[in-house]
Homo-oligomer: A and B are copies of this chain.
Amino acid sequence: MVRMATRRAETTEESRRLLVAAAAGLFAEKGYRQTSFVDIAERAGISRGSIPWHFGNKLGLLKAVLDDRLQTVLTGVAPPGDDRSGDPLDQVMDFIRLPATRLFITLLAEAVEVDSPIREHYAQLHSALRQAVQSRIPAGAVPAGTTPEAFTVLLVGAVIGVHAQWRIAPEAVDLEAVQAAIRALALAGPRSG
């Protein structure tokens, strides 16, 4: 596919998709600042000049990558009420292992910087993740004494923070045990009622 790229293909959706995929991988591995247009063009097998054609500048490419990965995350989990993918609480914890989560954490530092150009984009990203998670929490799994909104912030927070610990020291974090803990916590409330 890459070797067949022609001048015409470079202005198509296919070349855009290849560039987004290459950039997502490189941003997650090396970080945003350390990745150059040359790196991205090389991995995608697309000429460097087509990047500004598609995205304007590097920031435009970053926003395209974030949007694309968010869609991957949202479509990768089953819609609310759909039983095909097993338990919604397990799905929430599956976020921890997603390549998209790896990217989101690598770029988090860029987003929290003062006057970061992607802060607003990250706010939308977190908001979309919270909505997706909240819509999938079974009504009975919100423990007494808390609200669906607060429980959702806690679950999304746990995904971010457990990923961070696991990524830094995989041998120190037992993901299966953490998943069991989430389940025990979520079910403890209703069961006591």
By a beta-carbon cutoff of 8 Å, the part of chain A in contact with chain B is 29-31, 33-34, 105-114, 119, 122-123, 126-127, 130, 143-147, 149-151, 153-154, 156-165, 167-169, 172-174, 177-178, 180-185, 187-189, 191-192
**Copies of this polypeptide in the complex:** 2
Complex contact A33–B33 (CB within 8 A)? yes
Tell which of B127, B161, B178 touches A172, judged by Cβ atoms closer than 8 Å.
B127
A181 & B30 in contact (Cβ 8 Å cutoff): no
Q: Would you call the interface of chain A mostly helix, strand, loop, or mixed?
A: helix
Closest to A109 in B: B109
Are A192 and B182 within 8 A (Cβ)?
Answer: no
* Subset of 10 A-B contacts with CB under 8 Å: A123-B172, A144-B184, A149-B177, A150-B180, A153-B165, A153-B173, A157-B163, A159-B161, A161-B164, A184-B189
Using known A-B contacts A119-B168, A165-B126, A178-B154, determine if residue A143 contacts B110 with beta carbons closer than 8 Å: no
